C-alpha cells in the first residue's frame, strides 16, 4: 500500500520516472504470458494474419517461428475521411 501511495504522489508531482518503472514491473509478466500463449497457439500454423490489436505480438511471434505475417485492416481507414 505504501508503494501505491508513493506512485500516486510521484504521478501527481509530475515525476513519471518512478511511475514508468512501476508500470513496467506490473505489465511485464502479463506481456510475457501473452507471448508464451501466442507462441503455443501459432506453433503449427503456416501464417499469422492479425489486425491492429495483435500487431506487436503477432509480428514477434511470426519472426520467432519464421512464419508469413500479414496485416489485416478491419476498417477502410482513409476511405472514411471526407476531403474539402
Through-space distance between the first and last CA atoms of the chain, rounded to whole angstroms: 54
Angle at the Cα of 39 from the Cα atoms of 36 and 43, rounded to 5 degrees = 145
Per-residue pLDDT reduced to its tens digit, 36-60? 999 999 999 999 999 888 888 999 9
* pLDDT of 75 strictly over 90: no
Cβ–Cβ < 8 Å for 70, 48: yes
Residue of 27, 19, 76, 31 whose CA lies nearest to 57? 31
Mean predicted lDDT score pLDDT of the chain: 81
25 confidence band (pLDDT: 50, 70, 90): confident
3-17, 22-36, 46-60: the lowest-pLDDT one: 3-17
d(CA 39, CA 31): 12
The single-letter DSSP state of residue 74 is: S
Amino acid at each position: 500500500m505504501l508503494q501505491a501511495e508513493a506512485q500516486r504522489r510521484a504521478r501527481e508531482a509530475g515525476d513519471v520516472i518512478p511511475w514508468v518503472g512501476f508500470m513496467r514491473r506490473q505489465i511485464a509478466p502479463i506481456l510475457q504470458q501473452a507471448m508464451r500463449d501466442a507462441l503455443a497457439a501459432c506453433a503449427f500454423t503456416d501464417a499469422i494474419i492479425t489486425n491492429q490489436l495483435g500487431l506487436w505480438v503477432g509480428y514477434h511471434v511470426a519472426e520467432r517461428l519464421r512464419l508469413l505475417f500479414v496485416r489485416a485492416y478491419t476498417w477502410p481507414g482513409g476511405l472514411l475521411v471526407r476531403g474539402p
